[in-house]
Amino acid sequence: MKINRRMVLAGMGAAALAQTPLRAFAMTSAQIGGYEFISVSDGNLVLPRSFFFEGLPQDALAEALAPFDLPQDQLEPPCNLTLLRNAERVILFDAGAGPAFMPSAGALLDSLDAAGVAPEAVTDVVFTHGHPDHLWGVLDDFDDLVFPNARYHMGQVEWDYWRDPATVDRIGTARAAFAVGAARRLEAIEDRVSQFADGDEVLPGITAQASFGHTPGHMSFLLGTGGDALLIGGDAIGNHHLAFARPGWASGSDQDPELGAKTRQRLLGRLAQEQIWLMGFHLPQGGLGRVERSGEGYRFLGAAQ
C-alpha cells in the first residue's frame, strides 16, 4: 500500500486570511481494496489522566509509560475518521462529535472540505460504535442531518443497546448523557439505517469484525488482503501508549474493561502477526500505522515512520 502524507489548508477567503490564522489539516492517503483511503480529522478530545490511568498500579504504570512523553495534567487524543471513496461510493466511518460534545472536537466538516468532499456527497456512514465522538456529528446545530443523502450502517448489537430505553439507567451516571444523546440521534436516522452482524460484508469489500468491550457492540472493519489489508479499529485499541504497552490491563474508557482487554490483545496479536495495517480513531499521525511486538506488549508504528 503506497502511503502519502500531505498538509492541506482549509479554504478561506483573502480577507479572512489577513486576520485569521490558517487551519492546517494533515492528511494520510493511500489506495487499498479498490478504494482511496483518506484520514480526516475531527479535532481532538481533552481528557484528564485519570480517565486512562485511575486504579492502575502506580509503579508498574510509571514503568509502562516511561517511553512516552505524556503530559502530566491532561491528555489530548486526536480524533481520526476514515474516508473511503471510489467511483460509486463515498464512505465515512463514524460521524465525529458534531457541535454539542467538546469544543476541541467537531472539525470534521472543515476537514472534509479540505479534502474536497461535500457532506451531500457522502453515500454511506458506517459506525464503529455509539459514543459521542463517533455518533453525535450526524446532526448539526439545528438537528438537521449533516449527511442528508447517506445510508447509515450500525452493528445490530450496538443499535439495540443504544435504542434500549433501559440503557440510560444501566450505563452509570458518568455516561448517562451518552445514552440520551445516542438515542436521540439514532431516532433521527432510523429510517435510513441498515444493521449487520459479525462477519457480514457491510459494503463491497468491507467486512464487519466484532470487537466488543469498549461498548457492547463495538465493530471494526477489514478491507483488502495480505500485506495491504487494513483494519479500521475504532476505539478497540484506544491509545498509542498503554493499550499497546500493556494491552491486558483494564481501561477505564471501556464499558466492559475485562472484555475490552481480551479484544485488544486478540486484535494486536493478529495485526502484528499478519502485518495488517491499523487505522485507529485516537492514534497519532493520522491514525494509520503498523503494529509490532515490543517487550511484553506491542508498539504502534505510524505510517510516516
DSSP result, 27-86: EEEEEETTEEEEEEEEEE--EEHHHHHTTS-HHHHHHHHTTS---SSEE--EEEEEEEE-
pLDDT for residue 3:
74
**Residue 146, class by beta-carbon neighbours within 10 Å (0-12 exposed, 13-18 middle, 19+ buried)?**
buried
278 strand-pairing partners: 231, 289
pLDDT for residue 8:
54
* Number of domain units in the chain: 1
pLDDT for residue 36:
95
Reported as a single tens digit per residue, the pLDDT across 44-84 is 999 999 889 988 999 999 999 999 999 988 999 999 999 99
* Count of Cβ atoms closer than 10 Å to residue 236 Cβ: 30
Nearest 5°: CA angle at 277, between 273 and 281? 120
What residues contact 205, with CB distance under 8 A and at least 6 apart? Answer: 33, 34, 35, 223, 224
Q: Which domain holds residue 122?
A: 3-302
Residues of the chain with pLDDT under 70: 5-27, 305
pLDDT for residue 22:
43
What residues contact 292, with CB distance under 8 A and at least 6 apart? Answer: 272, 298, 299, 301
290 three-state secondary structure = strand
Which residue type does 3 have? I
Reported as a single tens digit per residue, the pLDDT across 102-138 is 999 999 999 999 999 999 999 999 999 999 999 999 9
For residue 136, the domain's CATH number is 3.60.15.10
